[in-house]
Amino acid sequence: MNSLRIWFKKVGRAKYISHLDLMRSMTKAIKRSGLKVWYTEGFNPHAYIVFPLPLSLGIESESECVDIRVEDGVTPWEVKEKLFDQMPEGLDLISVDEPFCNAKEIKYGRYVVTLDFEKETDAKIFAELSEKLVEEKSLVCEKKGKKGHKKVMKEVPLGEHIFNFSTEVKENTLIISVDLSAGNPVNIAPNLLIGAIEKESRVLPLYKKFEKKCLLTENFEIFR
Amino acid sequence: MLSKEIENILQYVQKPGRYTGGEFNSVIKDKNKVDIRYAFCFPDTYEIGMSHLGMKILYSLVNERKDSWCERVFAPWTDMEEEMRKNNIPLYALESGDPIKDFDLIGFTMQYELSYTNVLNMLDLAGIPIYAKERKSLTPIIVAGGSCVCNAEPIADFVDITLPGEGEEVTNELIDLLKEHKKKGSTKEEFLKAAAQLEGVYVPAFYDVSYNEDGTIKEIKSTNGAPEKVKKRVVKNLDTMFAPKEFIVPFIEPVHDRTVVEIFRGCIRGCRFCQAGFLYRPIREKSPEVVNEQCKSICEKTGYEEISLCSLSTSDYTGLEDLLDRLFDWTLDKKINISLPSLRADNFSSSIAEKLAKIRKSGLTFAAEAGTQRLRDVINKNVTEEEILSSSRKAFQRGWTGVKLYFMIGLPTETDEDVQAIAELSQNVVNEYYKNPDKPKGRGVNVNISVASFVPKPFTPFQWEAQDDMETIERKQKLLEDSVKTKKINIGWNDSRMSMLEGVFARGDRRLSQVIYNAYKLGCKFDSWDDQFDFDKWMTAFEQAGLDPKFYANRKRSFDEIFPWDHMDYGIPKKFFEKENQKAHEGVTTPNCREKCNGCSANKLCGGECHELS
Ligand code: SF4
Ligand code: SF4
């Protein structure tokens, strides 16, 4: 039995597939591929698949990954070959490798956020405001959390979780690049950051696009 | 591809996966290379619509054609509707994201009467005039199919065409015809006149209905050369009939997420309350070889790990054992489960039971329908209490700990004793469990009884009967509730108000179009959803139209009354139903079609005798 890491994109309308649905979709894709994968034991056996880090709904990604276990002798090349055509639209298979890092090593996510405004001045106002707020380390976001068994909204200060923040205005579009804490114990999705800035701003973007570029480890090295 | 506007609002709604499309096996074509664009609309949520086999069949069937592109449309939930209206986004098809108002054919499948307001709301959301007469151009043509259109009169003002019967063949003919008329540049009327000549096509606008003073129908006259009687369409051979080789694999979980293959159409039993049993006569079986191949293909192309064999009464399938053997040959290895819905209690044979034991335990259901033998004879449900008890006993011995029983209240000739007997029968099933010496330790039994209110339907022997009014139903529900003495029995009801409305529209005439329109205007939608249903608005809608729901639901008709659906021909003459109705009141049963042909004439639809068809 071998562990393999499948890398794929999640772009276009596929960004609206929830994590649970993505798991079910991958399970079916693997089933269709006819690959000899390892099944969990028990009453209702199913293919073993694990996502090192779930992606929030609505965020596109250039590099998502999922780990599967295959029977001995199944090569990464064979997995890629057989799985390629079974991936739904927007979930494009990039590569299949043996896992290099452990999921625990995930520390940050690298994102690009594209915001369209009505006019260029608005984009600039928003850019300046966000630079200032990030500098001050004063941003706070609301995050769903659990208190015992109850679901509650928790306030999370963002100051310690924002890295390499930069902005660029092109006409009425603002492009933000940022690394945010990811994985355990704190996972900050970019829409939380933008939401927190929006609360402080008098101009708001018309369209928002969130893209994840990659995951990073401790030293801002790419998670593989 | 979805537009930026659509993608943007999706971040504000629940379950955006309902509205994105892009699922595996969904069909993308070049819109410039097709002649006909078909929007297949299901007037309920994505999760319900995507579980519907009829939609999967027609989707594949139309997309098999190079000249046509079929896309899917579902009723957006209220949060999405709000966002769409706020942002001026018209109803769009999931595959292309294009507004459906520019499509050629817009087909609605009508599975239950309480989805009528959703049809109107969807048309409005699409920016399409709701009344057929206000749509002057050739396209879009609004078509409706499904079991409700055996009496399409309540929606007669809104749809251009209905397709009584089975849609596989007539859909292709309709597309061919529309393509031809688009090329010729015909008017809508020219096209509809030609369409009305196809077998299995009904054009409501071509029929004039006049009424007597008492509100009953005086006469239905065909105009524009449309046939006096519209014959339902029947597919003669199920083995050669089109069937999908693959299904779309939804991202979000539909109600049923599995491979479904039909094993036969029609039913050999003539339960007198059952519309489906009569609408889909005569019985036609698909051979086990063909079913097996279709199951295999769909499983391979979807990755589904469950197969459901679909029919009205699975255990009447003559090839069941053969089929199960074939399926087990490859499914066991692939860890694919098989489920058999609609198993009857009375022929749950032990060799089949043994085969079923290999399959994961799914729920076990028995349709008893009535509590006493007398009433079961009236409705021609040929199952005895002893059969139900012995089947339960066998099931309990095999390790089942739960059983679901289906009943109805409000059946013709029903007395309070009949209602109370439902509780007794259920109690006897509970007792069977405790009589079993090998019952699992420490585990109790669960007997769930689902008690529907009987709704008289067209094309059944009970089409003349009065439906119990809401007060009577509620009294009987209370009576039954009080008769159940143990917590091991759980009762599930229908909302008596929904059943009443269902009854009104099932046997209604075309004057009810006004009521549906009023209700829609008052904001009614998703009427079969408890949290959306607004009965008071419906009552206002009736008042505004000056119509009394009791006239439609609670009135017993005489045998010589002209029904709103009398110009529909489903192959079984009214006389046959009349005879069955009389036998019902005498408590005389009718043998099933395999024991003896009772001369309902449905065999003529396929030519030959029924026993030759299966
Ligand atoms: S067995 Fe009776 S209730 Fe069931 S489908 Fe056949 S006729 Fe209808
Ligand atoms: S013609 Fe006879 S066998 Fe055929 S469906 Fe009618 S009653 Fe049954």
Say whether pLDDT at B420 is over 90.
Answer: yes
Ligand 1 centroid distance, CA of B313 (Å): 7
CATH of B363-494, one of 3.40.50.720, 3.20.20.140, 3.40.50.300, 3.30.750.200: 3.30.750.200
> What pLDDT was estimated at residue B72?
98
Instruction: Kindly determine whether residue A12 and residue B21, on different chains, have CB atoms separated by under 8 Å.
Output: no
> What pLDDT was estimated at residue B344?
59
Say whether pLDDT at A148 is over 80.
Answer: no
| Residue having the nearest C-alpha atom to atom 2 of ligand 2 | B597
Asked if the domains at A2-99 and A105-216 fall in one CATH topology, the answer is yes
Residue-range domain boundaries for chain A: 2-99, 105-216
Residue with the bigger pLDDT between B2 and B439: it is B2
Task: Name the pLDDT band for B358 (thresholds 50, 70, 90).
Answer: low
CATH 3.40.50.280 intervals, chain B: 4-231
Q: What is the dihedral of CA A21, A27, A28, A32, to 10 degrees?
A: 160
Rounded Cα–Cα distance for residues B331 and A31 (Å)? 13
Beta bridge partners of B99: B92
Do residues B479 and B535 touch, judged by C-beta distance below 8 A?
no
B258: closest chain A residue by CA = A28
Say whether pLDDT at B355 is over 80.
Answer: no
Topology of A105-216 in CATH? Alpha-Beta Plaits (3.30.70)
Ligand 1 centroid distance, CA of B66 (Å): 39
pLDDT 10s digits, B264-282: 999 999 999 999 999 999 9
> What pLDDT was estimated at residue B536?
97
Do residues B39 and B93 touch, judged by C-beta distance below 8 A?
yes
Peptide bond into B140 cis (omega under 30): yes
Contact residues for B551 (Cβ-Cβ < 8 A; gap 6+): B215
Q: B562 — alpha (psi -120 to 50), left (phi > 0) or beta?
A: beta
Do residues B35 and B182 touch, judged by C-beta distance below 8 A?
yes
* Residues contacting ligand 1 via CB (< 6 Å): B 267, 269, 271, 274, 276-277, 312-313
Name residue, tokens 């006004």.
B514
Residue A67 Cα distances to A22, A47, A90, A101, B78, angstroms: 13, 11, 19, 12, 38
Contacts of A21 in chain B (CB under 8 A): 17, 251-253
B246 part of contact set with chain A, CB < 8 Å: no
> What pLDDT was estimated at residue A144?
77
pLDDT 10s digits, B54-74: 999 999 999 999 999 999 999
Percent with pLDDT over 70 in chain A: 98
Do residues B562 and B219 touch, judged by C-beta distance below 8 A?
yes
Closest CA to B32 of B102, B86, B101: B102
Average pLDDT, chain B: 93
Closest CA to B319 of B242, B266, B264: B264
As for the ipTM of the complex, it is 0.88
Task: Name the pLDDT band for B349 (thresholds 50, 70, 90).
Answer: low
Task: Name the pLDDT band for B343 (thresholds 50, 70, 90).
Answer: low
Residues of A near B (CB-CB distance < 8 A)? 12-14, 16-18, 21-22, 24-25, 27-32, 39, 44-45, 57-58, 86, 88-90, 206-208
Average pLDDT, chain A: 89
Domain B4-231 CATH superfamily: Cobalamin-binding domain (3.40.50.280)
Say whether pLDDT at B360 is over 70.
Answer: no
Angle, alpha carbons A193-A196-A200 (nearest 5°): 140
Q: Which atom of ligand 1 is nearest to the CA of B344?
A: 1
Closest CA to B10 of A18, A163, A44: A18
Q: What's the rounded mean pLDDT across residues A213-218?
A: 92
Ligand 2 centroid distance, CA of B598 (Å): 6
Name residue, tokens 């071998």.
A2
pLDDT 10s digits, B450-474: 999 999 999 999 999 999 999 999 9
Instruction: Give the least confident one: A158-172, B99-113, B559-573.
Output: A158-172
CATH of A2-99, one of 3.30.70.580, 3.90.420.10, 3.20.20.80, 3.30.43.10: 3.30.70.580
A56: closest chain B residue by CA = B11
> What pLDDT was estimated at residue B348?
57
| Residue having the nearest C-alpha atom to atom 1 of ligand 1 | B269
Instruction: Name the residue facing A31 among B20, B253, B305 (closest C-beta).
Output: B305
Percent with pLDDT over 90 in chain B: 83
Instruction: Name the residue facing A21 among B251, B301, B304 (closest C-beta).
Output: B251
CATH 3.30.750.200 intervals, chain B: 363-494
